Chains A and B, each alone.
Chain A
Amino acid sequence: MPDHPHLTDLEQLLLLAVLRLGDGAYGAAIQADLETHAERNVSMGSVHVTMGRLEERGLAKSEKGEPQGVRGGKARRIYAVTPQGRAALEWGRAMLDRLWEGVPSEGGA
């Protein structure tokens, strides 16, 4: 079996949110997205520290965005998913799919 990095539940959610948000994937947006679509209340600190861990493992990357004209020229940190990160997500999803294949549907057979 190829050595794919294992992702925790939170890591998967975060990477998915980053992918969904595209260019707008900064901390507050990620947090809001998780709250809206995954009903997960994650602290901002956890977002950053987990993204940091993913970066360290080469699954995500980040850079300072362009300073915004509005709101005092704040330069947000924008996260992005690396190809390895995407591969890890895909692999996780494929594994889940494979596992689901063996699960008898409720009330069947």
Chain B
Amino acid sequence: MTLPSWVARWIRAVVPDAFAGDLLDDLDDGFEQRRRDGRGGRRWLALELMRTPYLRLWLQARRMQAAGTRREMPAGTGGGMGGVGMGLKVAARSLMKRPSYTLVAVLTLTASIGAATLIFSVIEGVMLRPLPYDGAERIYRIYATNESWREAEQTVLRESWNRLDVTEDMLGALRGSIPGAEALGAHTKATVRLDDGLDPVQLDGARFLPGFFETLSTRPVIGRLPTAPEVEAREPVALISERLWTSRYGRDPNVLGRSIALGQEPATIIGVLPASFAMPSESARWWTPLSKDFADGRTDVAVFAAFVRLAEGVHSDLATEGVARVGSSLADGSAAYADMGVRLRPLAELVVADVREGITLLFWAVVVVVLIASVNLANLVVARGSRRRGEMAVRSALGASRVELVWSMLSETALLCAVGGGLGVLMATQLLDPFMALLARATPDFPRMDGVGVNGLVLLFSAGVAIITALLSGLFPALNASGRSPWEALQEGRRSRGGRATRRTQRALLLTEAALAMVLLVVAGLLTRSALFVASIDPGYDSESVAFLGIDTSDERYQSAEAALALGEELRARLSRLPGTVSAASASGLPGLGGADGRLVWPRDGGLEVGELIWTNAVSPGYFETMGIPLLAGREFTTADGPDDAMTAVVSTLFAEKYFGGDDPVGQTFMMGTGARLVGGKVVATNENVVTVVGVVADVRQLAVFMDPDPGLYVSMAQSKGENPDIILRTQAPPVEILDAARAEIRAVDPSLLVSRADVLHSSMRKLIAPLEVRLILIVALAALAAFLTVVGVYGVVAYVVSDQVHEIGLRMALGARSTGESSRMVKQALGPVVFGGVVGWGGAYAASGLIESGLYGVEALDAPTYLAVTALLLVVAAVAAWIPARRAAAVDPMRVLTEE
């Protein structure tokens, strides 16, 4: 080609493709000929371009297409401008001409498709990817159930009624009775001290029964699994996790054969399990066969997490029935198992049970945002479609098929969605790492995080979202605009470009958008209120200047009650003398962090059968002062409450009310078991004592900060077998500064003493709230995005209506209508569908709030103030968005409109 390139561009832009190629070739020939002969090629070319009959070329191209006398046409020609390539080319050209529209649309799509990709990559990695066990889909967890707990008064019992561990008796009954079972395994989790010659640490792990590795089959990274005879014989072998192998032993292969002690029990490391073997949880670091003298040889203690692996091709219903039969025969055979049953749950469901709710909520929120983005885009396309109606009619009259017309409209949205989708995926890959870091901070043992990434399946999903968005937003308006007879469309003329049908469609879309946004706004509103409530909770104690250090007393030197007590006394005395310390105490559990025993309590005149499980905290003298829990009556513990003295208790206000009504509780007595354990389906006291109340303190939220206080009681540390106590320090200085000095002090007492945890109470409590906060931030961000998209939609519709009705407005104003009246009429027209959509959205919001109900604190799912507040918010922003373009209606000059007529 010797033609200047601008000529080619010009010809391709303005001459239909049916002719452009041939014309260019021939112009090129002529040009070259003249240049060679020195006959003024450029002048000739300029003349040619001026004399080209552009209009006739277009008309001819269309006629030829309509008559079917197509030449072998290049893709995309003629009246329909058909063809995928041409459609996209035209679409790109047209989008470039409207940069602000294109920018808004692309940003909308990038944000929504990006968010969808991000959430889906987490869902795929965490929930959809198969678990790292062979045939994981055939593994089921076996739970015990207790019908009588279903309606129990205590939240703890009620929430766990169908997720109970099983006893060894149950395992015995299940073994061999599940149809299609290939293997049955069980373990019991434990947190113990690891002694291996390095600094001791406290680690989570599990002790397992025979069948464990047959059920949850895995391949060790190095070493081997224990053989069945080894497990049967309960040989002292141990497996450690790849994470521990890496962090503690630097992946040294000589770790095999190393002698260690787990909770004082010696063992030899024989294998390293992959990091993905997260059983019982992500924090598990060791596994060892259950030793013989576990639970004093009792077989009715419910502490086992049990699993069954079904043979290939066995339907789970069959196994479920078999399991249910075992449960009912146990219940019939023994009083201890009276209300009990057994059920199966797929393993995959359980591994991610804790995070499933949060992820699912996020996923639906993202779906809503993507829908709103589609609706928004659809609205823009409808407006544009009605502007192009005349063009469509002409094309249709000239023989363009409906498919070609639909495609020519759809190609714009397709292009937008492709670009938005691509950028969205890019955004997701960039944000994935920070997002996962955020999740990890919020949920320390977030399961299966390593598997998360943007992979083929995720890309497929993103492409699917982009295509669906394109179809949702483009197809409906395109069909709408193209499905009318050209005659009708031409008749409608140019006076009103939109017409009633378009405005009706737009109102419907606006309504949909407002309804969808309302759902997200309500959910975000409820979560915000819930978070505000949690932040405002008074836990009943002062957590601000309190540090704590957990002491592991599992060393054999501290096994006697006297030695443990003496150690506690010495630590307390030394730490209280640390500069900056106001007071020191020790306790077996920390309030708000789930630290408490459950003990069975019953009135002296009642029997054991009316016993009730009450949370109990064993505390040293000075505890209430250190924690800032007000003493309301009587006294606190002193050295007078020693191991050989009569048993005493300090009770909470709720406990006093419940057991002693209006009487003065101080000096009253009740019965208490010193320990309680789950035997079959019953909580059983292991011992009983008469306990005298010596004091009453204010209620605290001992079990969880979110839960209303339950009745509780305190016993003297000296009268209780206080294992692994926490030393609690109230400080003047910021508590975090005292931790190092406190550790040094503890080492001075006994260098081998293990500090299992050390933190500031306040920050530990904040970590508990972190998952709620992260969820809140994400949902609020998505809701804000949804509201913003809705506002953009409102703005677009009003702007369109104003420009569409210029004529009508001018006429009205000429007849005496006030300009402000015209503006407010526009705003009202736009707000109608928003109000209606908002009300429709209430229904959806109520349904959606069921999803988050279990995570709401201090606010009902149907919280009227929240509903009203977010509705008002939506209306106000919608009104502002409508008013901005509506002002243009007031600026209409009636004279000009009428002259144009």
* Chain B residues numbered 22-72 whose CB sits less than 8 Å from any CB in chain A: 22-23, 25-30, 33, 47-48, 51-54, 56-57, 60-61, 63-64, 67, 69, 71-72
A-chain residues with CB within 8 Å of residue B23 when the two chains form the complex: 27, 44-45, 48
B-chain residues with CB within 8 Å of residue A72 when the two chains form the complex: 1
B788 within 8 A of A: no
- How far is B26's CA from A29's CA once the two chains are assembled, in angstroms? 8
- How far is B30's CA from A65's CA once the two chains are assembled, in angstroms? 17
Question: Could you tell me if B22 and A48 are in contact, using CB atoms closer than 8 angstroms?
Answer: yes
* Chain A residues numbered 1-50 whose CB sits less than 8 Å from any CB in chain B: 26-29, 31-32, 43-49
Question: Could you tell me if B52 and A44 are in contact, using CB atoms closer than 8 angstroms?
Answer: yes
Selected contact of B30 from candidates A31, A49, A53, A62, CB within 8 Å: A31
Q: Please judge, given known A-B contacts A52-B60, A55-B64, whether A45 and B29 are in contact too, CB under 8 Å.
A: no
Question: Could you tell me if B53 and A43 are in contact, using CB atoms closer than 8 angstroms?
Answer: yes
Selected contact of B69 from candidates A49, A55, A76, CB within 8 Å: A55
B476 within 8 A of A: no
- How far is B72's CA from A52's CA once the two chains are assembled, in angstroms? 13
B19 within 8 A of A: yes
The secondary-structure label for the interface of chain B is helix
> Who on chain A is nearest to B31 by CB?
A28
A85 to chain B minimum Cβ distance, whole angstroms, is: 14
Selected contact of A45 from candidates B52, B63, B64, CB within 8 Å: B52
Q: Please judge, given known A-B contacts A44-B48, A55-B64, A62-B71, whether A49 and B56 are in contact too, CB under 8 Å.
A: yes
B-chain residues with CB within 8 Å of residue A29 when the two chains form the complex: 29
> Who on chain A is nearest to B67 by CB?
A56
A93 within 8 A of B: no
How many chain B residues touch A (CB < 8 A): the figure is 29
Question: Could you tell me if A52 and B29 are in contact, using CB atoms closer than 8 angstroms?
Answer: no
B726 to chain A minimum Cβ distance, whole angstroms, is: 85
Interface string of A92-108 (1 = CB under 8 A from B): 00000000000000000
- How far is B18's CA from A45's CA once the two chains are assembled, in angstroms? 12
Interface string of A45-70 (1 = CB under 8 A from B): 11111001101100000111000000
- How far is B140's CA from A99's CA once the two chains are assembled, in angstroms? 103
Q: Please judge, given known A-B contacts A44-B52, A48-B19, whether A26 and B26 are in contact too, CB under 8 Å.
A: yes
A27 to chain B minimum Cβ distance, whole angstroms, is: 3
A-chain residues with CB within 8 Å of residue B64 when the two chains form the complex: 52, 55-56
A-chain residues with CB within 8 Å of residue B54 when the two chains form the complex: 45
The secondary-structure label for the interface of chain A is helix
Selected contact of B60 from candidates A32, A53, A63, A76, CB within 8 Å: A53
A-chain residues with CB within 8 Å of residue B1 when the two chains form the complex: 72
> Who on chain A is nearest to B30 by CB?
A28
- How far is B53's CA from A45's CA once the two chains are assembled, in angstroms? 6
> Who on chain B is nearest to A28 by CB?
B29
- How far is B69's CA from A62's CA once the two chains are assembled, in angstroms? 11
Highest count of chain B CB atoms <10 Å: which of A31, A44, A46, A52: A44
Question: Could you tell me if B57 and A48 are in contact, using CB atoms closer than 8 angstroms?
Answer: yes
A-chain residues with CB within 8 Å of residue B56 when the two chains form the complex: 45-46, 49
- How far is B52's CA from A2's CA once the two chains are assembled, in angstroms? 35
Question: Could you tell me if B26 and A44 are in contact, using CB atoms closer than 8 angstroms?
Answer: yes
Selected contact of A74 from candidates B19, B25, B48, CB within 8 Å: B25
- How far is B71's CA from A27's CA once the two chains are assembled, in angstroms? 16
- How far is B57's CA from A45's CA once the two chains are assembled, in angstroms? 8
A36 to chain B minimum Cβ distance, whole angstroms, is: 12
A91 to chain B minimum Cβ distance, whole angstroms, is: 22
B-chain residues with CB within 8 Å of residue A26 when the two chains form the complex: 25-26, 29
- How far is B28's CA from A28's CA once the two chains are assembled, in angstroms? 9
> Who on chain B is nearest to A77 by CB?
B22
Interface size class of A (residues with CB under 8 A): 20 to 34
A-chain residues with CB within 8 Å of residue B57 when the two chains form the complex: 45, 48-49
- How far is B48's CA from A74's CA once the two chains are assembled, in angstroms? 21
Question: Could you tell me if A49 and B53 are in contact, using CB atoms closer than 8 angstroms?
Answer: yes
Interface string of B5-32 (1 = CB under 8 A from A): 0000000000100110011011111100
B-chain residues with CB within 8 Å of residue A47 when the two chains form the complex: 26
- How far is B26's CA from A93's CA once the two chains are assembled, in angstroms? 30
A32 to chain B minimum Cβ distance, whole angstroms, is: 7
> Who on chain B is nearest to A43 by CB?
B51
- How far is B25's CA from A49's CA once the two chains are assembled, in angstroms? 15
- How far is B59's CA from A56's CA once the two chains are assembled, in angstroms? 12
- How far is B178's CA from A90's CA once the two chains are assembled, in angstroms? 98
Q: Please judge, given known A-B contacts A49-B19, A55-B69, whether A43 and B25 are in contact too, CB under 8 Å.
A: no
- How far is B57's CA from A27's CA once the two chains are assembled, in angstroms? 15
Question: Could you tell me if B51 and A31 are in contact, using CB atoms closer than 8 angstroms?
Answer: no
A-chain residues with CB within 8 Å of residue B47 when the two chains form the complex: 43
> Who on chain B is nearest to A45 by CB?
B52
- How far is B64's CA from A72's CA once the two chains are assembled, in angstroms? 29
> Who on chain B is nearest to A47 by CB?
B26
> Who on chain A is nearest to B66 by CB?
A56
- How far is B23's CA from A44's CA once the two chains are assembled, in angstroms? 7
Question: Could you tell me if A64 and B72 are in contact, using CB atoms closer than 8 angstroms?
Answer: yes
B-chain residues with CB within 8 Å of residue A55 when the two chains form the complex: 64, 69, 71
Highest count of chain A CB atoms <10 Å: which of B26, B28, B52, B69: B26
Highest count of chain A CB atoms <10 Å: which of B15, B29, B61, B71: B29
- How far is B641's CA from A71's CA once the two chains are assembled, in angstroms? 109
Q: Please judge, given known A-B contacts A45-B54, A64-B72, whether A28 and B33 are in contact too, CB under 8 Å.
A: yes
Highest count of chain B CB atoms <10 Å: which of A49, A64, A75: A49
Q: Please judge, given known A-B contacts A32-B33, A49-B57, A53-B60, whether A44 and B27 are in contact too, CB under 8 Å.
A: yes
- How far is B1's CA from A74's CA once the two chains are assembled, in angstroms? 9
- How far is B56's CA from A49's CA once the two chains are assembled, in angstroms? 7
B-chain residues with CB within 8 Å of residue A49 when the two chains form the complex: 19, 53, 56-57, 60
- How far is B71's CA from A29's CA once the two chains are assembled, in angstroms? 20
Highest count of chain B CB atoms <10 Å: which of A48, A53, A56: A48
Question: Could you tell me if B25 and A77 are in contact, using CB atoms closer than 8 angstroms?
Answer: yes
- How far is B74's CA from A64's CA once the two chains are assembled, in angstroms? 12
B-chain residues with CB within 8 Å of residue A28 when the two chains form the complex: 26-27, 29-30, 33
A57 to chain B minimum Cβ distance, whole angstroms, is: 9
B-chain residues with CB within 8 Å of residue A32 when the two chains form the complex: 30, 33
Highest count of chain B CB atoms <10 Å: which of A52, A62, A63: A52
- How far is B67's CA from A83's CA once the two chains are assembled, in angstroms? 20
Highest count of chain A CB atoms <10 Å: which of B22, B25, B29, B61: B22
Selected contact of B26 from candidates A31, A52, A56, A63, CB within 8 Å: A31
Question: Could you tell me if A46 and B53 are in contact, using CB atoms closer than 8 angstroms?
Answer: yes
- How far is B18's CA from A31's CA once the two chains are assembled, in angstroms? 19
Selected contact of A27 from candidates B25, B60, B67, CB within 8 Å: B25
- How far is B30's CA from A43's CA once the two chains are assembled, in angstroms? 11
Question: Could you tell me if A56 and B48 are in contact, using CB atoms closer than 8 angstroms?
Answer: no
B20 to chain A minimum Cβ distance, whole angstroms, is: 10
A54 to chain B minimum Cβ distance, whole angstroms, is: 11
- How far is B70's CA from A63's CA once the two chains are assembled, in angstroms? 11
- How far is B784's CA from A19's CA once the two chains are assembled, in angstroms? 73
Q: Please judge, given known A-B contacts A45-B51, A45-B52, whether A74 and B63 are in contact too, CB under 8 Å.
A: no
B-chain residues with CB within 8 Å of residue A48 when the two chains form the complex: 19, 22-23, 26, 57
A-chain residues with CB within 8 Å of residue B30 when the two chains form the complex: 28, 31-32, 44
B204 to chain A minimum Cβ distance, whole angstroms, is: 73
> Who on chain A is nearest to B26 by CB?
A27
B-chain residues with CB within 8 Å of residue A74 when the two chains form the complex: 25, 28
* Chain B residues numbered 501-558 whose CB sits less than 8 Å from any CB in chain A: none
A35 to chain B minimum Cβ distance, whole angstroms, is: 10
A31 to chain B minimum Cβ distance, whole angstroms, is: 6
Question: Could you tell me if B29 and A27 are in contact, using CB atoms closer than 8 angstroms?
Answer: yes
Task: List 8 contacting pairs A-B, 8 Å CB cutoff, sorted by A.
Answer: A44-B23, A44-B30, A45-B15, A48-B26, A49-B56, A52-B18, A52-B61, A72-B1
Other A-B contacts than A45-B48, A48-B57, 13 sampled, CB-CB below 8 A, are: A28-B27, A32-B33, A44-B27, A44-B52, A45-B56, A48-B23, A49-B53, A49-B56, A52-B19, A55-B64, A55-B69, A56-B63, A74-B28
Interface of B toward A, CB cutoff 8 Å:
1, 15, 18-19, 22-23, 25-30, 33, 47-48, 51-54, 56-57, 60-61, 63-64, 67, 69, 71-72
A-B pairs with the 5 shortest C-beta distances? A27-B26, A45-B52, A28-B29, A43-B51, A28-B26
